Chain A
Amino acid sequence: MSDMLTLKNVTKKFGGLTAVGGVDFTIKKGEIFGLIGPNGAGKTTIFNLITGIYGLTEGDVLFEGKSITGLKPFQIANTGITRTFQNIRLFKNLTTYENVLIACHKSASYGLLDSVFRTKKFKNEERLLAKKAGELMELMGLTQNKNMLASNLPYGLQRRLEIARALALNPKLILLDEPAAGMNPEETLRLMELIREIRDKLDVTVLVIEHHMDLIMGVCDKIFVLNFGLPLAEGSPKEIQDDKNVIEAYLGKEEE
């Protein structure tokens, strides 16, 4: 399998504080890759570095072998990386349908004048966008809430809508930032299925941050553990579960 995303010595310093230091890992195409660590370990910072919201202090990020360091967030999104947010960031006063439809915009290419004159191109592409948005809502089980404002959706559905919106870009890699936060066990189980479905059906590689260990251990092919911004361990779920350092970071040291 080819490499999808490679982090090389990725480092981010805020003033004197090293939020993330010397992180190296590679995600292969088609993998579900877990990123875990105690609170404040720098997981979300890594997401912000990959998606270009923060600039790197040192190191390099390669996407399909090409460096994406220094690109603006929207350019990185257009190369095929997208994400969801830990604190949900939907277009709150727009409907579910509009949220998904907006994110589909790259599937159309008509210009401003096409929309002013309502050309054939405009009409055809709009129809295409509507169809695509409909399919995505169907996939994510949002069709019933099509015309509901995003801010009025129940919490679990807001998380799903964020994933739907991310998938609308036809991404190659999707970064999920605590997708199961606030979900009950049943919803979490459904989310696990969904993550697998995204990988298998849509051929999207997944990088997920999560604190629910059931989810991480259940769906991930590989896990990377971060502690205080530094790499702690990397391996299969089984290896991570048995790793002494990881147990220590989460549960503390055994008294001697």
Chain B
Amino acid sequence: MDMYYVQGILILAGINLLTVLGLSLLTGFTGLFSFGHAGFMAIGAYMTTMMTVKLGLPFIPALLVGGLSAALISLIIGRFTLNLKGDYFCIATLGFGEAIRLILDNIQYFGGSRGWAGIPLYTSFWNVIIIDIVAIIVMVFIINSRHGRNMKAIREEELASQIVGINVFRYKMISLGISALYAGVAGGMLAHYLGYLQPLMFQMVKSTELTIIVIFGGLGSITGSVIGAILLTALPEILRDFYQWRLVIYGLAVIAIMIGRPRGLMGGKELNFRFIKKLLKKEKEVNI
């Protein structure tokens, strides 16, 4: 294995990680399941590419535009579907994801179903890492604030959240918007890593994969999502030598986790600074 190959896997893991982080906020912390996040990635990917290729914008502002457009569209969808009770939102996202793919199939400006080649390769190992770190910090800060706590309250008990004065609809919108923003930026990075875009890349399988990673890592755990994203992106690559079997093994790994740890790898717990601080403090006491 050469470095270039390992780096490539890490970049893909980093991009997946970004989407998974956003989805984790929506699914793990707010309790809303989405099967259309590949759609938000697609919007981000195509918008970012349009900005860099057609309008000549630098990479970072283009990524922001991509992310914000995904967020904006998510809010329009949320406006109409987040009032629905139960699983209807989930079904709506499923429909949305497929609709976006089909629309992109038919926009010749973006290359239609033939795809869009010749996208400049701006995504590098280092900017993936930096964006991921910033994204993780921002997410942790949001979750450990009254806004994040309100989302958790909605996940736990919607009616009681209303009774303590939480505007449930508004917080669901915020959560959806942020998660779509993350997915959009990730989509833009994916486009500028592969140098090629095709609507087929954003099928429902992709959305399902993302949701599986969140559940695998553990609902309501950022560390779980991070570990899950890295493991489950790398796993199929590590198994490339047994390529006929790799999806079987992937499936078995997910099943094994769900049986062994039904709440996911981390199961709502975090490996965080407080934990590390505690360890450090203990050491200090010993030193004294």
Contact = CB atoms under 8 A, between A and B. Distances in A.
Contacts of B147: 112, 115
Contacts of A112: 142, 145, 147, 174
Interface stretch (A3-11, A76-84, A241-249): A76-84
B168 interface: yes
Interface in B114-172: 138, 141-142, 144-150, 152-153, 156-157, 159-168
A85 B161 CA distance: 12
A90 B156 CA distance: 8
B111 interface: no
Interface centre among B142, B152, B153, B164 (most CB of A within 10 A): B164
A94 B143 CA distance: 14
B162 A92 contact: no
B112 interface: no
A122 B150 CA distance: 15
Interface string B84-126: 0000000000000000000000000000000000000000000
Contacts of B168: 74
Given A115-B142, A118-B141, A91 B165 contact: no
Contact of B156 (A72, A85, A93, A108): A93
A93 B220 CA distance: 10
A53 interface: yes
B166 A115 contact: no
A51 B152 CA distance: 22
B268 interface: yes
Contact of A102 (B141, B149, B162, B167): B149
Given A89-B160, A90-B157, A102-B152, A74 B146 contact: no
Contacts of B156: 90-94
A169 B166 CA distance: 11
Interface residues of A, number: 36
B153 A102 contact: yes
Nearest to A118: B141
B162 A73 contact: yes
A122 B253 CA distance: 42
B164 A165 contact: yes
A243 to B, nearest CB: 33
B162 A72 contact: yes
A10 B150 CA distance: 32
A105 B146 contact: yes
Interface string B164-186: 11111000001000000000000
Contacts, number: 94
Contacts of B165: 74, 77-78, 82, 103, 105-106, 169
Contacts of B164: 77, 82, 102-103, 105, 165-166, 168-169
Contact of A110 (B146, B148, B220): B146
A92 B268 CA distance: 13
B221 to A, nearest CB: 12
Nearest to B137: A116
Nearest to A117: B141
B157 A89 contact: yes
Contacts of A110: 145-146
A173 interface: no
B130 to A, nearest CB: 16
Contacts of A108: 146
Contacts of B141: 115-116, 118
Contact of B163 (A82, A114, A118, A129): A82
Contacts of A169: 164-165
Nearest to B152: A94
A102 B160 CA distance: 11
Interface in A86-138: 89-94, 98, 101-103, 105-106, 108, 110, 112, 114-116, 118, 122, 126, 129
Given A105-B149, A105-B165, 7 more contacts: A73-B162, A74-B162, A90-B157, A93-B220, A94-B152, A105-B166, A110-B146
Leading 7 A-B pairs by shortest Cβ distance: A115-B145, A91-B156, A77-B165, A73-B162, A89-B160, A103-B164, A105-B146
10 contacts: A72-B162, A77-B162, A89-B160, A91-B153, A94-B153, A102-B149, A103-B165, A106-B165, A112-B147, A129-B146
